[in-house]
Structure 1
Amino acid sequence: MKHENYDLYFPDQPVVDLYLPIWANLPAFRAKPAFVWAEDDPARTPVSSTLTYEQLNTSVQNISTQLLQLQLQKGDTVVILCPPGLELVEIIFACQRAGLIAVPVVPPHPSFATHNNHHHHLVRVLSQTKPKAAIANRNYVNALRAHTSSTNNSHGLPGLLRKIKWISTDELKGVTVKSNDISRYNGCNAHDVYLIQYTSGATSVPKPVLVTAGAAAHNVRVARKAYDLHPNSVIVSWLPMYHDCGLMFLLLTIVSGATCVLTSPAGFLNRPRLWLELISDHRATCTPVPSFTLPLVVRRGGVSEGTSSITLGTLKNLIIINEPIYKDSIEGFVKVFGPFGLNPTCVSPSYGLAENCTFVSTSWRLLCSSSGENDIINFPIFKNLLPSAKLDSSSSSSSSMEEEEIEILIVDEETHEPVSDGVEGEIWVSSPSNAAGYLDHPSLTREIFNARLRNKAAAPCFVRTGDTGVVVGEERYLYVTGRISDIIKLSGGREVHPHFIETAAYSTTCGRNTLRPGCIAAFGISGDGGSVAVVAELQGRRRGGSGAAAVEVKVLREVCEGIKVAVMDAERVSVGLVILVESGSLPKTSSGKIQRWAAKYRFERGGGADFNVVMKMAFESKHSTRNYLPLISSSL
Structure 2
Amino acid sequence: MFLIEHATGPRQRGTRAMSTENYDPYYPDQPVVDQYIQVWAKQPAFGLKPAFIWADDGRRAGTSSYTAVTYSELNAAVQRMALSLLETVSRGDTVLLLASPGLRLIKLIFACQRAGLVAVPIMPPDPSKLGTAAQGAAYGHLLRAVSQTRPSAVVADAGYIDMVMKSPVAVLKCLRWVSVGRLESRASSVASDDELGRTGYKGCGPRDTYLIQYTSGATGAPKPVVVTAGAAAHNVRAARKSYDLHPGSVIASWLPQYHDCGLMFLLLTVVAGATCVLASHAAFVRRPRLWLELVAEFKATCTPVPSFALPLVLKRGRSEHGTRPLELGSLRNLILVNEPIYKSSVDEFVEEFGRAGLDAASISPSYGLAENSTFVSTAWRGTEGKLWSGRLSLPSYKKLLPSARLPSLASAAKEPEIEVVIVDGENGEPVEDGVVGEIWVSSPSNASGYLRHPSASREVFCASLPGRAGISFVRTGDCGLVRGTERYLYVLGRSADVIATNRQRRVHAHYIETAAFDSSPDSLRGGCVAAFAMSPSSVVVVAELQKGRGNAHQSSICDGIRRAAWKEGLRIGSVVLVESGGLPKTTSGKLRRGSAREKLLSGKLPKIFVAHYGEAEGSASTWVRDGEEMEKCGTSWVAGEVGGELAGMVVMASGSASDRLHLQSSL
If the length of structure 1 is used for normalisation, what is the TM-score?
0.92
1:107 deviation in Å?
A: 1.1
In structure 2, what is the equivalent of residue 505 of structure 1? Answer: 516
**Structure 1 residue 400: Cα displacement:** 7.3
2:257 is equivalent to residue 241 of structure 1: yes
Q: SS of the residue aligned with 1:63?
A: helix
Instruction: List per-residue Cα deviations over 1:561-616 (Å, max 9, x = no partner).
Output: 011111112x110011111122211111122111111111111222xxx2322211
Residues 133, 167 of structure 1: 8 Å contact kept: no
Q: Which residue of 2 aligns with 1:226?
A: 242
> What residue number does 2:110 align with?
93
Pick one of 412, 415, 418 that aligns with 1:402: 415
Take 1:85 and 1:106, find their aligned partners in 2: how far apart are those partners? 13
**After superposition, where does 1:13-412 map in structure 2 within 5 Å?**
13-44=30-61, 45-70=63-88, 72-111=89-128, 112=130, 113-115=132-134, 116-147=136-167, 151=168, 157-176=169-188, 177=191, 178-179=193-194, 181=197, 184-365=200-381, 369=384, 371-372=386-387, 375-394=390-409, 402=415, 404=417, 406-412=418-424
Q: CA deviation at 1:144?
A: 1.9
**What is the rounded CA distance, in whole Å, between the counterparts of 2:521 and 2:197 in structure 1?**
58
Q: Is the 8 A contact 1:351 1:360 kept in 2?
A: yes
2:645 corresponds to:
none
**Which of 461, 469, 472 in structure 2 is aligned with 1:449?**
461
2:503 aligns to what SS in structure 1? helix
Answer whether contact 1:67 1:172 (CA < 8 A) is retained.
no
Q: Distance in 2 between matches of 1:414 and 1:340?
A: 49
Q: 2:634 maps to which residue?
A: 628
Q: Which amino acid aligns with 1:489?
A: A
Query: 1: distance between equivalents of 2:415 and 2:477?
Result: 24
Contact map agreement 1:521 1:535 (CA 8 A) in 2:
yes
CA distance in structure 2 between the aligned counterparts of 1:35 and 1:370, rounded to whole angstroms = 30
Q: Distance in 1 between matches of 2:149 and 2:56?
A: 32
* Alignment: residue pair count: 605
Query: How far apart are 1:278 and its partner, in Å?
Result: 0.8
Q: Following the alignment from structure 2 to structure 1, what is the Cα–Cα distance between the partners of residues 299 and 257?
A: 22
Corresponding residue to 2:587 among 569, 574, 590: 590
Quote the offset at 1:169 in angstroms.
2.9
**Contact preservation (8 Å) 1:197, 1:243:** yes
Distance 2:334 2:618 in 1: 44
| Aligned counterpart, 2:597 | 600
Task: Say whether the 8 Å CA contact 2:435–2:481 is kept in structure 1.
Answer: yes
Other structure's SS at 2:78 match: helix
d(CA) in 2 for partners of 1:22, 1:469 = 40
CA distance, structure 1, for counterparts of residue 473 and residue 574 of structure 2 = 40
Q: Is the 8 A contact 2:252 2:294 kept in 1?
A: yes
Map 1:461-540 to 2 at 5 A: 461-508=472-519, 511-526=520-535, 529-539=536-546
CA offsets 1:350-369 (integer angstroms, 9 cap, x no match): 00000001000000027x63
Q: Bigger CA drift: 190-199 or 165-174? A: 165-174
2-side partners of 1:297 and 1:634: how far apart?
32
Q: Alpha-carbon deviation of 1:42?
A: 2.7
Q: Secondary structure at the match of 1:632?
A: strand
| Distance (whole Å) between structure 2 residues aligned to residue 173 and residue 458 of structure 1 | 52
Label 1:357 to 1:292 Cα distance change in 2 as closer, same or farther (>3 A): same
Cα distance 1:165–1:517, how it changes in 2: closer, same or farther (>3 A)?
A: closer
Shift of 1:162: 0.1
Structure 2 SS opposite 1:568: helix
C-alpha distance after superposition, 1:119-155 (max 9, x if no partner) = 11110000110000111121112222222xxx4xxxx
* Contact 2:85-2:183 at 8 Å conserved across structures: no
Offset, 1:168: 4.5
Q: Which amino acid aligns with 1:451?
A: A
2:409 is paired with a residue whose SS is coil
Instruction: Give yes or no for the alignment of 1:556 onto 2:554.
Output: yes
After TM superposition, give the deviation of residue 401 of structure 1 in Å. 6.8
* Conservation of the 8 A alpha-carbon contact between 2:550 and 2:557: no
Distance 1:114 1:121 in 2: 15
Q: In the alignment, is the contact (CA less than 8 A) between 1:33 and 1:50 conserved in 2? A: yes
Q: Report how far residue 43 of structure 1 moved.
A: 3.0
What's the TM-score, normalizing by structure 2?
0.87
**Distance (whole Å) between structure 1 residues aligned to residue 258 and residue 247 of structure 2:** 24
Structure 2 vs 1, CA of residues 373 and 3 (structure 1 numbering), >3 Å: closer, same or farther? farther
1:201 CA displacement: 1.0
Equivalent AA in structure 2 for residue 551 of structure 1 = G
Deviation at 1:66, TM superposition (A): 0.8
Q: Which residue of 2 aligns with 1:544?
A: none
Structure 1 residues 83 and 163, CA, compared in 2 at 3 Å: closer, same or farther? closer
Picking from 605, 613, 623, the partner of 1:611 is: 605
- Which residue identity is paired with 1:445? S
Distance 1:319 1:400, change over 3 A: farther
How far did 1:420 drift?
1.7
SS in 2 for 1:50: strand
Distance 1:87 1:634, change over 3 A: same
Cα offset, 1:624, TM superposition: 6.2
SS of aligned partner of 2:47: coil
CA distance in 1, matches of 2:201, 2:143: 34
Task: Report the 3-state secondary structure (helix = DSSP H, G, I; strand = E; otherwise coil) of the residue aligned with 1:74.
Answer: coil
**1:374-423 Cα deviation digits (max 9, x unpaired):** 5435321110110011122216xx9777352x211111111111112211
> Judging changes above 3 Å, is the alpha-carbon distance between structure 1 residues 400 and 120 closer, same or farther for their aligned structure 2 residues?
farther
Unaligned runs of 5+ in 2: 1-17, 620-631, 643-667
Cα distance in structure 2, aligned partners of 1:400 and 1:519: 45
Report the alpha carbon displacement of residue 617 of structure 1 after superposing the two structures with TM: 0.9
Q: CA deviation at 1:16?
A: 0.1
Aligned counterpart for 1:416 among listed residues 428, 438, 454 = 428
**What's the CA shift string for 1:502-560, capped at 9, x where partnerless?**
1111222xx1221122111100013xx43211111122x1xxxxxx3x6343x221111
Corresponding letter in the other structure for 1:205: A
- The unaligned stretches of length 5 or more in structure 1 are 152-156, 542-547
Over residues 89-131 of structure 1, what are the superposed CA-to-partner deviations in whole Å (9 max), with x where a residue is unaligned? 0100000000000001111122313432111111000011000
- Alignment partners' CA distance in 1, 2:414 and 2:162: 51
One-letter identity of the residue aligned with 2:70: T
**Cα gap change, 1:98/1:329 in structure 2, threshold over 3 Å: closer, same or farther?**
same
Give the RMSD, CA atoms, in angstroms: 2.0
Instruction: Decide whether the 8 Å contact of 2:164 with 2:172 is kept in 1.
Output: no
Post-superposition Cα deviations, 1:314-362, rounded to whole Å, max 9, x if no partner, equal 1111000110110000001011111010100000000000000100000
